[in-house]
Chain A
Amino acid sequence: MSEIYKQTLSELVNNIKNKKISSEEITKSYIARSEKSKILNTFVTSNFDEALKQAKNFDKKPNFNLKLPGIPIAVKDLFCTKNVKTTAGSKILNNFIPTYESTVTQNMWNEGAILLGKLNCDEFAMGSSNETSYFGNVQSPVDENLVPGGSSGGSASALAAKLTPVTIGTDTGGSIRQPASFTGTVGLKPTYGSCSRYGIVAFASSLDQAGPMSQNVKDCALLHNVISSYDEKDSTSIDFKRSNYSEQLSKNIKGKKIGIPKEYRVEGMPKEIEDLWQKGINYAKDCGAEIVDISLPHTTYALPTYYIVAPAEASSNLARYDGVKYGFRSKGENLIDMYEKTRSEGFGAEVQRRIMIGTYVLSSGYYDAYYLKAQKVRKLIKSDFDEAYKKVDAILTPSTPSAAFKIGEKKDDPVSMYLNDIFTVPVNLAGLPGISIPAGHDSKGYPLGLQIIGKAFDEQNILDIAYAMEEKINFKNKITDWWIK
């Protein structure tokens, strides 16, 4: 048996069920490694003492019928966790302790998982490099001073550094898939409505989805089984028949039609991305899939559409952080002054930028030209996919237009930062599921990912394709534990 923290979720579950290891041993192993990994800055809040206590309790009265029996898991700090500080990476919530639990995390605890801690993320999930967090940037375990991606950067980094066996993130425009791609891990953005948004700090309500992040596809399916559920507390939650994703997981994708959208061959795309994509196409063929050229004609409008819709919703969603009820408050001469100071001091620059963009595009006189038009384009983007899915079962694209970059490299260039999401945002706009799997390395040895996009509610299909390709790709992460002195 390999060292505990090196095991996959499936291995841990098996070993604990076979009583080869205890929950306490697993928990101690991750805590010990996390203590040595502070330089990565992945945890905003650790829950180690409480986790150990719960692990011991589990061992005293174990229930091996659960899907995550006694498994300690750290989660993105965007999920509200009862009695554990939840910051969303923001100063404005740096003292906020919820009295309630998000549905997604509750689902995990119900299946025996134990909260290990809360993971760093971009402030209110706005960012692609985890550099906008009030709690500082996160280091990628891939290389020193490399960004882990964002906004679920703490989650991706902790997962890749093996500080948690699996984790969950949220994905509004690529916030699970892009950091998964940057760190050589697997990340699934489920169909909109698959995972409840109840108790998740909202960024852009019509786009936000929670999803699993893992070391491999099987673990991803296992965790998705647990977190996906219909929830009456979220009006946008959808009551569809969820399959048992991990049990039905199959590598047989023979005859499946996989679409290659020509519009994703964007101008200036690095050759190594193009090569990776071609490699992916070959792997898919090797698995017996049929490759079909398709067109998603409105792809080029996806990014501008996203950067109207998401900030518009965010500007309204973030209005509740006003210093009146909870969270950070600055003193003011009067109500308006208090609002202005609280929000100027409580929100970081990127969040303020998006609030301003969102406020602008919703303003009277601009609404029709921006927000309304964006909603129309969003429909066109969705119908592009509907059209394509008449011909194919899934779509294969690169996850990102480049590998991870250095901390600070794009910080002052928001547009270049936004371009990171170019392959992922159309999926959110259309409400579809998408998974990123590691598929290779760039010239510097940094991981690169491929994205498989599915039909709505067809997570099983893209998990199967990912599972089959994963075997062929046989990706090996080159993480060296450089940060452990």
Chain B
Amino acid sequence: MSKNNNEYLINRKDNQYEVVIGLEVHAQVTSESKLFSSSSTKFGAEPNTQVSLVDAAFPGMLPVINEFCVKQAIKTGIGLKAKINKRSVFDRKNYFYADLPQGYQISQFKDPIVGEGKVILDLPNGQKEIGIERLHLEQDAGKSIHDIDPQSTLVDLNRSGVALMEIVSKPDLRSPEEVSIYIKKLRSIMRYLGTCDGNMQEGSLRADVNVSVRLKGAKDFGTRCEIKNVNSIKFMQSAIDYEANRQVDLIEDGKNIDQETRLFDTKKNETRSMRSKEDAHDYRYFPDPDLLPLEVSDDFIEKLRTDIPELPDDKKKRFIEQFKLSPYEATILVSDIATANYFEEVVAKMGKNRDVKLAVNWITGELFALLNSKNLEISQSPISAKNLSILINLIKNGTISGKIAKTVFEHMVEGDKDPQKIVQEKGLKQQSDPKALEILIDKIINDNREKAIEYKNGKEKLFGFFVGQAMKASGGKANPQLINEILKKKL
């Protein structure tokens, strides 16, 4: 396998294969209530406590569309720079399963609410546009639980009827890495919009992954396999890696690839056939006669458009222009809206004589490391943007050194303390009085006469030794720049 030039290619003998991937992402709409009923959508409730008569498909019960979910889907469509269809139709997708109470899923088949759009990926070697085929609204099914009772399958209908957006990409993705970046970007956009929380552990974001391979440079697509319901980016990457290699091996062996639906076994790290094309369900889609076609006016859409916040791509552009950030730095900061907001707050609180680069370094360095180690989101940061901005200013105006700042930072974690107070209380203020430092250095040179002579005789390495001694003698508080200057003069 070669990854030169960021290309993901599979090599076999003389052949190089390219992988073609398309994603059907199922994103749970952020909404208090379900798509067609007023039941709560809260995660983690006792089984079957959030089920209305509609969700459990009692006789004579009828779906009524939740307008908020429609708005969420349209907003997402706007975020994907997509065409919003003023008229869309809900269809029934018919199949029998114990956790599908109606015996059909209400979905959108021929006329989805959102049409073609795009997502821009920031790749190491530049940007790439991934086409969006469509976005449609549909109901989630309930959950079948097979491992509690040895004899029976238990069914939890809390999820039944929860609104999902199915976002279908064009087959524009070419590597597991691109898939990872695509999912993260999609999630970022939806989090900016507040339309999906993107929580993969809770199943709010999952995907069906379509994979095919072809010789590099070939025009036609190979036969694709669909890997169903993968619920983490890591698993998506492993599944694609496995599946692409499996398909290449089949081709190299002169065998055919069967178009089929496959499952990813997360324990064995392999995909397995679930059903072939011949066994594919005939879902007998037809327009749901309980629901009229969904019609939205231009006004309705335009009003939502004015609600759209600045999205990652625009924010990134602005950060680069306004703060002179590198594209790389800007990408990191805008990937999560909470991070971007935190950054902007720090910068705003730093005042006129601000050092934005320093702020970026501290946020992406110390703060990220802290959050990582404590497994916290930036919204839960133990250090407020205000106090971090004060800390950075203390470095910038020379009150403390970068090294001391790290000590102060550690103290700040406890109860979000004001760094100025910490510096004062612990006496960590940087020593920048040249006279005091000269006295200190004189003493060190005196105490280490032999080494001073060696230095003078050309052993320049020893300069570091003297700096170290001076820092040590000052308890780390000496202004390193001044130390350097004085030492050079005295030695």
Which listed residue, A199, A206, A325, A362, touches B57 by the CB 8 Å rule?
A325
Asked whether B101 lies within 8 Å of A324 as measured between CB atoms, the reply is: yes
Closest to B64 in A: A235
Asked whether A235 lies within 8 Å of B62 as measured between CB atoms, the reply is: yes
* Residue with the highest number of chain A CB atoms closer than 10 Å, among B58, B63, B153, B282: B58
Tell whether A197 is near chain B: CB-to-CB under 8 Å.
Answer: yes
Which listed residue, A93, A99, A235, A367, touches B290 by the CB 8 Å rule?
A235
Q: Tally the A-B contacts, defined by beta carbons under 8 Å.
A: 94
Closest to B57 in A: A320
Q: Of residues 192 to 240 in A, which have CB atoms within 8 Å of B's CB atoms?
A: 197-202, 204-206, 232-236
Q: 20 other contacts beyond A236-B291, A320-B59, with CB at 8 A cut-off?
A: A88-B59, A197-B62, A202-B290, A205-B290, A233-B62, A235-B62, A235-B63, A235-B64, A236-B292, A312-B286, A315-B94, A316-B103, A316-B104, A320-B102, A325-B101, A359-B284, A362-B94, A362-B284, A362-B286, A364-B282
Per-position binary interface string of chain B over residues 456-472, scored 1 when its CB falls under 8 Å from any chain A CB and 0 otherwise:
00000000000000000
Tell whether A7 is near chain B: CB-to-CB under 8 Å.
Answer: no
Closest to A339 in B: B96
Which listed residue, B60, B96, B153, touches A197 by the CB 8 Å rule?
B60
Asked whether A326 lies within 8 Å of B58 as measured between CB atoms, the reply is: yes
Instruction: Please judge, given known A-B contacts A235-B63, A325-B56, A363-B284, whether A205 and B103 are in contact too, CB under 8 Å.
Output: no
16 contacts between A and B (CB under 8 A): A88-B59, A96-B59, A99-B53, A100-B58, A102-B60, A198-B61, A199-B61, A202-B290, A235-B62, A235-B291, A312-B286, A313-B289, A316-B286, A325-B58, A326-B58, A364-B282
Q: How far is the CA of A281 from the CA of B31 in the complex (A)?
A: 59
User: Shortest 7 CB-CB distances between A and B: which pairs?
Assistant: A319-B103, A205-B289, A362-B284, A206-B289, A320-B57, A199-B60, A201-B59
Q: Of residues 51 to 78 in A, which have CB atoms within 8 Å of B's CB atoms?
A: none
Tell whether B65 is near chain A: CB-to-CB under 8 Å.
Answer: yes
Tell whether A261 is near chain B: CB-to-CB under 8 Å.
Answer: no
Q: How far is the CA of A318 from the CA of B285 in the complex (A)?
A: 15
Tell whether B98 is near chain A: CB-to-CB under 8 Å.
Answer: yes
Asked whether A320 lies within 8 Å of B62 as measured between CB atoms, the reply is: no
Tell whether B487 is near chain A: CB-to-CB under 8 Å.
Answer: no
Which listed residue, A80, A319, A324, A325, touches B94 by the CB 8 Å rule?
A319
Tell whether A371 is near chain B: CB-to-CB under 8 Å.
Answer: yes
Tell whether B486 is near chain A: CB-to-CB under 8 Å.
Answer: no
Which listed residue, B59, B101, B286, touches A98 by the CB 8 Å rule?
B59
* Residue with the highest number of chain B CB atoms closer than 10 Å, among A198, A316, A367: A316
Closest to A201 in B: B59
Closest to B290 in A: A205
Q: How far is the CA of A86 from the CA of B61 in the complex (A)?
A: 14
Q: How far is the CA of A305 from the CA of B292 in the complex (A)?
A: 20
Q: How far is the CA of A198 from the CA of B64 in the complex (A)?
A: 11
Interface of A is mostly: loop
Which listed residue, B57, B60, B155, B292, touches A198 by the CB 8 Å rule?
B60
Tell whether B92 is near chain A: CB-to-CB under 8 Å.
Answer: yes
Q: Chain B residues with Cβ under 8 A from A318's Cβ?
A: 103
Q: Which residues of B contact A (CB under 8 A)?
A: 53, 56-65, 92, 94, 96-98, 101-104, 153, 155, 282, 284-286, 289-292
Q: Chain A residues with Cβ under 8 A from B289's Cβ?
A: 204-206, 236, 313
Q: How far is the CA of A98 from the CA of B56 in the complex (A)?
A: 13
Q: How far is the CA of A98 from the CA of B53 in the complex (A)?
A: 10
Q: Chain A residues with Cβ under 8 A from B97's Cβ?
A: 335
Tell whether A122 is near chain B: CB-to-CB under 8 Å.
Answer: no
Asked whether A316 lies within 8 Å of B64 as measured between CB atoms, the reply is: no
Asked whether B59 lies within 8 Å of A86 as measured between CB atoms, the reply is: yes
Q: Chain A residues with Cβ under 8 A from B153's Cβ?
A: 335
Instruction: Please judge, given known A-B contacts A100-B53, A319-B96, whether A93 and B101 are in contact too, CB under 8 Å.
Output: no
Closest Cβ of chain B to A384, distance in Å, is 21
Q: Chain A residues with Cβ under 8 A from B104's Cβ?
A: 316, 319
Instruction: Please judge, given known A-B contacts A319-B102, A319-B104, A362-B284, whether A235 and B58 are in contact too, CB under 8 Å.
Output: no
Q: How far is the CA of A399 from the CA of B234 in the complex (A)?
A: 67
Q: Chain B residues with Cβ under 8 A from A339's Cβ?
A: 96
Closest Cβ of chain B to A121, distance in Å, is 14
Which listed residue, B59, B63, B155, B284, touches A364 by the CB 8 Å rule?
B284
Closest to B56 in A: A325
Q: How far is the CA of A148 from the CA of B97 in the complex (A)?
A: 39
Q: Chain B residues with Cβ under 8 A from A235's Cβ?
A: 62-65, 290-292
Tell whether A123 is near chain B: CB-to-CB under 8 Å.
Answer: no
Asked whether A316 lies within 8 Å of B58 as measured between CB atoms, the reply is: no
Tell whether A322 is near chain B: CB-to-CB under 8 Å.
Answer: yes
Q: Which residues of A contact B (CB under 8 A)?
A: 80, 86, 88, 93, 96, 98-100, 102, 197-202, 204-206, 232-236, 312-313, 315-316, 318-320, 322, 324-326, 335-336, 339, 359, 362-364, 367, 371
Q: Chain B residues with Cβ under 8 A from A233's Cβ?
A: 62, 64
Q: Chain A residues with Cβ under 8 A from B292's Cβ?
A: 235-236
Q: Chain A residues with Cβ under 8 A from B64's Cβ?
A: 232-235
Asked whether B102 lies within 8 Å of A371 as measured between CB atoms, the reply is: no
Q: Chain A residues with Cβ under 8 A from B102's Cβ?
A: 319-320
Closest Cβ of chain A to B47, distance in Å, is 14
Q: Chain B residues with Cβ under 8 A from A98's Cβ?
A: 58-60
Closest to B99 in A: A324
Closest to B60 in A: A199
Asked whether A320 lies within 8 Å of B103 as measured between CB atoms, the reply is: yes
Q: Chain B residues with Cβ under 8 A from A206's Cβ?
A: 289
Closest Cβ of chain B to A338, distance in Å, is 9
* Residue with the highest number of chain A CB atoms closer than 10 Å, among B57, B59, B97, B284: B59
Q: How far is the CA of A315 from the CA of B285 in the complex (A)?
A: 12
Q: Chain A residues with Cβ under 8 A from B290's Cβ?
A: 202, 205, 235-236
Asked whether A320 lies within 8 Å of B284 as measured between CB atoms, the reply is: no
Closest to A309 in B: B289
Q: How far is the CA of A235 from the CA of B62 in the complex (A)?
A: 8
Asked whether B101 lies within 8 Å of A316 as measured between CB atoms, the reply is: no
Q: Chain A residues with Cβ under 8 A from B62's Cβ?
A: 197-198, 233-235
Closest to A86 in B: B59
Q: Chain A residues with Cβ under 8 A from B58's Cβ?
A: 98, 100, 325-326
Asked whether A202 lies within 8 Å of B103 as measured between CB atoms, the reply is: no
Closest Cβ of chain A to B178, distance in Å, is 33
Closest Cβ of chain B to A36, distance in Å, is 32
Closest to A207 in B: B289
Closest to B284 in A: A362
Q: Chain A residues with Cβ under 8 A from B103's Cβ?
A: 316, 318-320, 322
Q: How far is the CA of A88 from the CA of B59 in the complex (A)?
A: 10
Q: Chain B residues with Cβ under 8 A from A320's Cβ?
A: 57, 59, 101-103
Instruction: Please judge, given known A-B contacts A335-B98, A362-B94, whether A80 and B63 are in contact too, CB under 8 Å.
Output: no
Q: Chain B residues with Cβ under 8 A from A313's Cβ?
A: 289
Asked whether A93 lies within 8 Å of B59 as measured between CB atoms, the reply is: yes
Which listed residue, B63, B65, B98, B286, touches A367 by the CB 8 Å rule?
B286
Q: Chain B residues with Cβ under 8 A from A199's Cβ?
A: 60-61
Q: How far is the CA of A166 from the CA of B232 in the complex (A)?
A: 61
Which listed residue, A88, A201, A319, A371, touches B286 by the CB 8 Å rule?
A371
Q: How far is the CA of A93 from the CA of B153 in the complex (A)?
A: 23
Q: How far is the CA of A329 from the CA of B146 in the complex (A)?
A: 20
Q: Chain B residues with Cβ under 8 A from A80's Cβ?
A: 59-60
Closest Cβ of chain B to A78, distance in Å, is 8
Q: How far is the CA of A319 from the CA of B95 in the complex (A)?
A: 8
Closest Cβ of chain A to B144, distance in Å, is 9
Closest Cβ of chain B to A124, distance in Å, is 10
Closest Cβ of chain B to A88, distance in Å, is 7
Q: Chain B residues with Cβ under 8 A from A88's Cβ?
A: 59
Q: Chain B residues with Cβ under 8 A from A96's Cβ?
A: 59
* Residue with the highest number of chain A CB atoms closer than 10 Å, among B60, B65, B101, B286: B60
Q: How far is the CA of A198 from the CA of B104 in the complex (A)?
A: 19
Q: How far is the CA of A411 from the CA of B379 in the complex (A)?
A: 71
Closest Cβ of chain B to A374, distance in Å, is 11
Closest to A326 in B: B58
Closest to B94 in A: A316
Closest to A208 in B: B289
Closest Cβ of chain A to B148, distance in Å, is 16
Q: Chain A residues with Cβ under 8 A from B53's Cβ?
A: 99-100
